[in-house]
Every structure is written in structure tokens, then in C-alpha cells.
Amino acid sequence: MATASPSTAIDSAADLPQPSDVQQKVLDRIATQRARLRARRAARAQSLALTQQRDGPGGIDESVALRAIGFAREHPIALVALAGVGLLAGPRRLIRWTGVVLPLLLRLRR
């Protein structure tokens, strides 16, 4: 099987007659559709990439417990500081502040 060289393909394209007006309209519609499909494919790929990036570690759809564990792993010094503040404040103050902060956090989750 012989394959056409690039110069042969160019020569055969030069031998083709010019398309009529109707044929040119069809060719233009085909080119427009191909461009639209290319753009649609690129937009979908970008959307999928953003979705995968967002759903990765620390994503929006994770539960509060999983996000808290992830935060503790990423910021151990902040966790130690928070535990120290909790020890200094004492259990009575912690319960009082939890009663203030917890409803605010639950309202933010909605």
C-alpha cells in the first residue's frame, strides 16, 4: 500500500475545482460547527478540571469532621494553640462560648 506524500496531497488539493456558493455555505457551516464543538469540548474539560480540583482534599463536599481532621493535619501548631487556649479558659467558659459560637456556625452552614 502506497501512502501519499504531503506534496502529492497538496497537488491533488490544488486540482479540485472551487466550490459553488451552496457548497461554500455548507463548508462554512461545517467549519463553524467544528469550532463550536471544539470550544464546547474545551469548556467541558475545564469544568471537569475545576470540579476535580474542588472535590480534592479539603473540598466543599466533605463533612465537617473530615475538614476538621484535614485542618488538624495541615496546621498542627494552630491545633496546639487552640488546645492551650481551651485549657486556660476552663470547661465552664468553653461550654459558654460553645453555646454562642455553635449556633453561628450552624447558621453559616445553611
Q: What residue spans define the domains of the chain?
A: 20-54, 64-109
d(C-alpha 110, C-alpha 107), whole Å: 6
Burial level of 67, CB count in 10 A (0-12/13-18/19+)?
A: middle
Task: Give the three-state DSSP class for 38.
Answer: helix
Q: What is the pLDDT of residues 35-93, one digit of tens each?
A: 999 999 999 999 888 877 765 555 555 677 788 888 889 999 998 998 898 899 888 99
The pTM (predicted TM-score) of the whole model is 0.37
d(C-alpha 76, C-alpha 72), whole Å: 5
